[in-house]
Amino acid sequence: MVTSARVAVVGGSLGGLTAALLLRDLGLDVTVYERSAIELEQFGAGIGFLPDSSRYLVERCGLELDSVSTKTSAIRYLRRDGSVDFEREHTYYFSSWNDVYRHLLDAFGRERYLLGHEAIGRTENPDSVTVAFSNGTEQEVDLLVCADGITSRFRSELVPTMKREYAGYVAWRGMVPESAIDQEVAAHLGDALTYGIFANSHILVYPIPALDGSVEVGKRLLNIVWYRNYAPGPDVEDLMTDIHGERREVSLHPGSVRDVHVEEMRATAKARLAPSLAHVVCAVEQPFIQAVFDITIDRMAFGRTCIIGDAGFAARPHAAAGTAKAAANGWALAEALETADEIPEALAAWEPGQVELGRQLVERTQRLGRRSQVEQSWDPRDDETLFRLRPEGP
């Protein structure tokens, strides 16, 4: 067991915080370095709260799952006229990125969570790793965990064979308070994960905790995720150019999407979606956009450095498993360090399973994307469409 080590976790999002907490629980000396100058927020966006995602808060923090998440009991597909096309009983839990982040950060504490530290390089030494930061400081550690997300600078440095490919569509996202919409619509959509599917597109709506963490019915938010195709080239470049004329690669924040695109999106919702779904979409005051990418790598461990979460594999959101994958990487890393005598040995044992986990998730979500956005072969009866991290399991 690795019982003493200085650990730097670069990236203070959900995956980085989970890994930091787990490694600190082993007795290691852990510091998180976050490039943002202020604590993070993700616009209140919803996340699928799969078992790997909730595990630390439930097992180590003692929180009740129902206190930090919403629960739906059915999966429901609506036709254009609003009637139910298909429904099955199935329980899901959902939370909000912001709420989970606050709980994890509170558990880790702020003393060793250093803001304003953008990592810009690393030097692998015989028995350590030196991390350099843009503020001119350096830190020598025994283990470097790269959890710096989909735009990771370490991924391209360490894995030059890395592939990042635009999927051909984006996710329009947004939230609206249950109290701000027609109450009959809120009741209809508040107890299920609700889908609407039409040619080359699909939307899903589900309840998540309010910005203050409330999970009480009537005080929650309804979260929308609407996948829409935009051809590579001028179409997506125009969409991803913000109100200031700046081209964004990955996302457009609330308030930064140009009015012409918001108006077109709302018009399409009214023309193509079930009335209840269109009502919720049009009630979102500031929708935002996340471009969908596939990112795959063939290595995740490099001596005393490892890559976790979206810094490694970035899968399409159709399995709702991005945060679960990052958390699973952290749990497996802690287990490897607990059973090995040396860090390089632990990382070598940890890597194959995590590469396979990322590879199968990317491949499965690619299949789901083709079915919904290209082939029109999405089958709600197929268990592959269920939210989960692994091909089989919860």
Average pLDDT, the chain: 96
Query: Max CA-CA distance within the chain?
Result: 66
Q: Is 72 in a helix, a strand, or coil?
A: strand
Cα–Cα distance list, 266 to 39, 119, 208, 379 (Å):
32, 40, 22, 26
Domain-embedded: residue 378: no
* Whether residue 216 is found in the same domain as residue 347: no
pLDDT at 122: 96
In the predicted model, what is the mean pLDDT of residues 359-385? 97
pLDDT interval class at 383 (50, 70, 90): very high
Residue 65 has pLDDT above 70, yes or no: yes
Distance CA 147, CA 145 (A): 6
Distance CA(275)–CA(284), nearest Å, equals: 15
Q: Is the same domain home to 170 and 41? A: no
Token reading at 297: 């790598």
Question: What is the pLDDT averaged over residues 86-110?
Answer: 97
Structure-block tokens of residue 165: 């490919």
115 pLDDT band (50/70/90 cuts)? very high
Q: What's the CA gap between 52 and 48, in Å, rounded?
A: 10
Give the per-residue pLDDT at 2: 87
d(CA 138, CA 134): 9
- The whole-number pLDDT of residue 164 equals 85
Report pLDDT digits (tens) over 167-206: 999 999 999 999 999 999 999 999 999 999 999 999 999 9
- The number of folded domains in the chain is 2
Same domain, 87 and 232: yes
Contacts of 350 (CB under 8 A, 6+ apart): 300, 301, 306, 332, 333, 335, 336
Residue 265's pLDDT is: 98
d(CA 291, CA 369): 13
| DSSP 8-class letter at 248 | -
Measured N-to-C along each axis, helices 14-25 and 51-59 cross at an angle, to the nearest 10 degrees, of 40
- What share of the chain in percent tops pLDDT 90? 95
- In the predicted structure, residue 60 carries a pLDDT above the cut 90: yes
Q: What is the DSSP letter of 374?
A: I
Residues 81 and 152 in one domain: no
Q: Is 383 exposed, middle or buried (0-12, 13-18, 19+ CB in 10 A)?
A: exposed
Q: Please tell me whether residues 284 and 306 are part of one structural domain.
A: no
pLDDT at residue 321, as a whole number:
97
Kindly state whether residues 220 and 74 are assigned to the same domain: yes
Residues 243 and 340 in one domain: no
Residue 304: inside a domain: yes
For residue 44, the model assigns a pLDDT of 65
Q: Where are the beta strands (DSSP E) in 79-177?
A: 84-96, 113-114, 119-124, 129-133, 138-141, 143-146, 163-177
Domain boundary residue among 224, 259, 292?
292
Are the C-beta atoms of 297 and 307 separated by less than 8 Å? yes
Instruction: Please say if the pLDDT value at position 331 is more than 70.
Output: yes
389 inside domain: no
Per-residue confidence (pLDDT) for residue 313, from 0 to 100: 96
Q: Choose the weakest-confidence range: 61-75, 157-171, 219-233, 349-363.
A: 157-171
Domain that holds residue 352: 6-50+98-164+295-370
Check whether residue 269 and residue 336 sit in a common domain.
Answer: no
Q: What is the pLDDT of residue 126?
A: 87
Residue 393: inside a domain: no
302 lies in the same domain as 279: no
* Last residue in a domain, options 292, 326, 353: 292
Domain C-terminal end among 250, 277, 292 = 292
Residue 57 inside a domain? The answer is: no
Residue 45: the pLDDT is 87
Q: In the 8-state DSSP scheme, what is residue 266? A: H
- Judgement on whether residues 199 and 271 belong to the same structural domain of the protein: yes
Dist CA 155 CA 164 (whole Å): 11
Kindly state whether residue 388 falls inside one of the protein's structural domains: no
1 occurs within a structural domain:
no
Q: Is residue 60, in this structure, part of any structural domain at all?
A: no
pLDDT band at 13 (very low <50, low <70, confident <90, very high): very high
CB contact set of 183 (below 8 Å; sequence gap of 6+): none
Residue 160: pLDDT band (50, 70, 90) is confident
Same domain, 236 and 193: yes
Cβ atoms of residues 57 and 331 within 8 Å: no
b (16+ CB within 10 A) / e for 223-234 = bbbbbbebeeee
Report the length, in residues, of the chain.
394
| Residue 138, domain CATH | 3.50.50.60
Residues 142 and 83 in one domain: no
Helices (H), 131-274: 153-158, 183-189, 234-239, 259-272
Q: Which CATH number belongs to the domain containing residue 232 in this structure? A: 3.30.9.60
Q: Read off the pLDDT of residues 75-91 as tens digits, 9 standing for 90 and up.
A: 999 999 999 999 999 99
